[in-house]
C-alpha cells in the first residue's frame, strides 16, 4: 500500500459513504456511543438504538447519572450488557476526573473503563482528527487480503504492526475519513461473507489477494471454539394478566430481568410435578415452543411453557405485558419467548 492507494481510498469514501447519523457529528461522546454499539451489531440496527440513546442521554453527564435499569432498558436487545455498564462507569470516571468530555490524550483515554485500542483509535481519529488508527475486524479483513497475511490477526503484535503501518499514512487532515474509509470499505466492498466486490475496490491495484485470486482464503480462519450447550425450561408464570419476572443474580445476563427458568429440560408433566413440589397452584400448563439463544461462548436451548397460576408465589414480581415492555429490560433470550405468548 502506498500513498497513492490511500488517496484512492479517500476519494472512494467521499463518493460512496453512507449517510449515517454519527457521521454528522464530531462530538466525542456521540462518536463513542456509536462505536461501542457498532461493535455489537449491524449498522441498520444501530441507527435506531443510537438515536433513542442520545435522545434520552444527550450528554456524558446524563450517562454518568443514569439509573442502571434505565441504561439496560436503552441497551435491551443489543447484547453484551457489560458494555453498557462500562459506558456508565467510564462516564462517571470522566466526571470524577473533573473533565467535561472524553479526553483527547491517548494514554488517558485508554485508562478509562471499556476503552480498548479500537475505541480509542475511533474517538481520537474521528472526533479529534488525531493520527491513531481504529482497527476492527473489518479493517483487519481488508489488510489481511491486501497483504495476503497468514498471521493470527487476533494477536496484539499483529494489530500493533498494522497500527504502526497505518499511522504513517494518517494526517490531521485525513484522520477522520481515513478511519471511516477503511471501515466503509470493509462493510461495502471487501465484505465478510461472500465474494468481495473487487471491481469497485479503490485498493485493487495494490491488493495481493486480488492479484492471486485468493480473496476468499483471507482472513485465515481459526477453528472456532465450540459453544457449551445449556438445555433449559422457561416457564412463564401468568396470574390474572400479569407475568412473573425477577432480576438475575448471577452468571450470564446478571442484573437483567428474566422469566422463571431452570437448567433442565422438562416435559409438561415434569414441569407440573416441579411446580407442585414448590407449592405453586396452577390451573393449566401450555407448551409454547422450542427456542434457542446464542451467546458468544454458550447456547441456550429452551423449551417454553405458559403456566396459569391460581395464586402468586412470593419470589417473583408480577407485571402486565405493557409494563414489562416499557420499564423492564428483558433480554432477547427471554423476550423472544415472551412475544410468543398466545
If the CB atoms of residues 13 and 319 are measured against ligand ADE, the closer one turns out to be: 13
CB contact at 8 A, 113 and 25: no
If the CB atoms of residues 17 and 61 are measured against ligand ADE, the closer one turns out to be: 17
Calculate Rg over the CA atoms of the chain: 24
If the CB atoms of residues 131 and 252 are measured against ligand ADE, the closer one turns out to be: 131
The C-alpha cell 476519494 sits at 11
Q: What is the footprint of ligand ADE within residues 10-29 (CB under 6 A)?
A: 20
Q: Find, among 272, 334, 332, the residue nearest to 304 by Cα.
A: 334
- Does 180 help bind ligand ADE (rule: CB under 6 A)? yes
If the CB atoms of residues 180 and 258 are measured against ligand ADE, the closer one turns out to be: 180
* Cα–Cα distance measured from residue 23 to residue 43, given in angstroms and rounded to the nearest whole number: 12
Part of the chain binding ligand ADE (CB under 6 A), chosen from 63-71, 105-113, 180-188, 245-253: 180-188
Choosing from 35, 76, 180, 258, which is the catalytic residue? 35
* Residue of 6, 36, 38, 324 interacting with ligand ADE (CB under 6 A): 38
Tell me phi and psi for residue 306, to 5 degrees.
Answer: -110, 125
* Residue of 84, 91, 183, 189 interacting with ligand ADE (CB under 6 A): 183
Q: What is the number of helices (H) and of strands (E) in the chain?
A: 15, 7
The size of the interface with ligand ADE (CB under 6 A), counted in residues, is 8
* Cα–Cα distance measured from residue 242 to residue 267, given in angstroms and rounded to the nearest whole number: 24
Known catalytic residue at 217 = no
**253: alpha, beta or left, given left = phi > 0 and alpha = psi -120 to 50?**
left
CB contact at 8 A, 238 and 309: yes
Shortest Å, Cβ 185 to ligand ADE: 11
Q: What is the footprint of ligand ADE within residues 131-170 (CB under 6 A)?
A: 136
* Residue of 35, 149, 258, 280 interacting with ligand ADE (CB under 6 A): 35
Q: Which residues bind ligand ADE (CB under 6 A)?
A: 20, 35, 38, 43, 136, 180, 183, 187
Amino acid at each position: 500500500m502506498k500513498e497513492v492507494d490511500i488517496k484512492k481510498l479517500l476519494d472512494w469514501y467521499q463518493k460512496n459513504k453512507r449517510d449515517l447519523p454519527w457521521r454528522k457529528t464530531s462530538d466525542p461522546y456521540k462518536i463513542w456511543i456509536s462505536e461501542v454499539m457498532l461493535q455489537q451489531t449491524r449498522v441498520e440496527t444501530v441507527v435506531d438504538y443510537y438515536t433513542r440513546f442520545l435522545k434520552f442521554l444527550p450528554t456524558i453527564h446524563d450517562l454518568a447519572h443514569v439509573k442502571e435499569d434505565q441504561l439496560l432498558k436503552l441497551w435491551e436487545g443489543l447484547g453484551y450488557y457489560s458494555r453498557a455498564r462500562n459506558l456508565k462507569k467510564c462516564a462517571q470516571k470522566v466526571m470524577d476526573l473533573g473533565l467535561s468530555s472524553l479526553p483527547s490524550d491517548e494514554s488517558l483515554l485508554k485508562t478509562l473503563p471499556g476503552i480498548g485500542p479500537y475505541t480509542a483509535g475511533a474517538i481520537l481519529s474521528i472526533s479529534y482528527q488525531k493520527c491513531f488508527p481504529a482497527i476492527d475486524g473489518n479493517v483487519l479483513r481488508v489488510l489481511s487480503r491486501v497483504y495476503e497475511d497468514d498471521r493470527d490477526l487476533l494477536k496484539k503484535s499483529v494489530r500493533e504492526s498494522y497500527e504502526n503501518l497505518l499511522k504513517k499514512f494518517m494526517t490531521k487532515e485525513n484522520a477522520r475519513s481515513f478511519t471511516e474509509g477503511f471501515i466503509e470499505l470493509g462493510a461495502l466492498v471487501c465484505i465478510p461473507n461472500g465474494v468481495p466486490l473487487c471491481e469497485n475496490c479503490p485498493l485493487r491495484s495494490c491488493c495481493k489477494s486480488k492479484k492471486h485470486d485468493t480473496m476468499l482464503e483471507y482472513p485465515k480462519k481459526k477453528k472456532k471454539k465450540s459453544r457449551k450447550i445449556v438445555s433449559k425450561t422457561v416457564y412463564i408464570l401468568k396470574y390474572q394478566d400479569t407475568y412473573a419476572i425477577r432480576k438475575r443474580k448471577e452468571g450470564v445476563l446478571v442484573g437483567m430481568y428474566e422469566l422463571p427458568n431452570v437448567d433442565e429440560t422438562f416435559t409438561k408433566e415434569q414441569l407440573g410435578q416441579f411446580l407442585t413440589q414448590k407449592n405453586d397452584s396452577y390451573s393449566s400448563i401450555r407448551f409454547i415452543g422450542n427456542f434457542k439463544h446464542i451467546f458468544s461462548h454458550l447456547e441456550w436451548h429452551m423449551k417454553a411453557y405458559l403456566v396459569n397460576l391460581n395464586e402468586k408465589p412470593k419470589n417473583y414480581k408480577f407485571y402486565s405485558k405493557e409494563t414489562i415492555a416499557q420499564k423492564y429490560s428483558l433480554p432477547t433470550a427471554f423476550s423472544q419467548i415472551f412475544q410468543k405468548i398466545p
